[in-house]
Amino acid sequence: MATSFISAGDQTWYEDAADTWFETFKKSITVNKEPIKNIVQNTTSQILGYDENSNIVDYTYTPRSQTFDAVIKYTVNENLQENPEIKLKFPDQQVEIYVKKDCADYINTDRTENITFDDKTFNIYSTSIVKHYQNNTFYVYFLKETK
């Protein structure tokens, strides 16, 4: 039978500390998805002299977004160069967000256009990185501010 290096009491303390960290530093973020395109058929009669397909079709867009809690970490990268092994160039300012599973699932389904918080708009430039803290799981995304 496998034993743990960490006692059950210490595991509980560590899980509670990770929850407290998230609850203490969380901020609201808005995840904006690609809007749904709705086709609205124009009810005007056919334009004389044109084919049957001359009816004008209008489109409306229904925005989709949802608000989640996240821990936001701003870092300034000094003297970072392009990393040829992973083909990733780091921006001058990097933003990390730590989110829970419900937010990660929402980000990963369909196309996420951007994420807004602190009156700024950001684009995701990484896939999620899963970080486990005992029984707590956080998902980390790296963002770049849009100009």
By three-state DSSP, how is residue 24 classified? helix
Q: What are phi and psi of 15, to 5 degrees?
A: -65, -45
At 35-51, the pLDDT tens digits run 998 888 766 666 565 65
Q: Does residue 79 register a pLDDT over 60?
A: no
Give the chain's end-to-end CA distance (angstroms, integer).
55
Domain map (residue ranges) of the chain:
8-33+65-145
At 95-142, the pLDDT tens digits run 999 999 999 999 999 999 999 999 999 999 889 999 998 889 999 999
